[in-house]
Amino acid sequence: MGSYDAELLDEGLIMIEKGIEVIRRHGRGELGGEVLTGALRRAFEQGSRLEAARTAMVGELDRVERERPDGERERSVPAWLHWEAHLTENA
pLDDT digits (tens, 9 = 90+) for 56-66: 998 888 888 88
Q: Percent of the chain having pLDDT more than 70?
A: 87
- Average pLDDT (34-40) is 94
* pLDDT over 80 (residue 90): no
Residues 45 and 76 in one domain: yes
Residues 81 and 42 in one domain: yes
Domain count, the chain: 2
Residues 23 and 36 in one domain: no
Residues 19 and 57 in one domain: no
Closest Cα partner for 27 from 43, 50, 45, 14?
A: 43
Residues 61 and 82 in one domain: yes
Burial of 61 (0-12, 13-18, 19+ CB in 10 A): middle
Residues 12 and 55 in one domain: no
Range of the domain at 10: 1-29
The per-residue pLDDT of the chain, averaged, comes to: 86
Residues 55 and 18 in one domain: no
Buried b (16+ CB within 10 A) or exposed e, 3-21: eeeeeeeeeeeeeeeeeee
Question: Residue 3, by phi and psi: left (phi above 0), alpha (psi -120 to 50) or beta?
Answer: beta
Whole-number pLDDT of residue 88: 62
- Is the pTM higher than 0.75? no
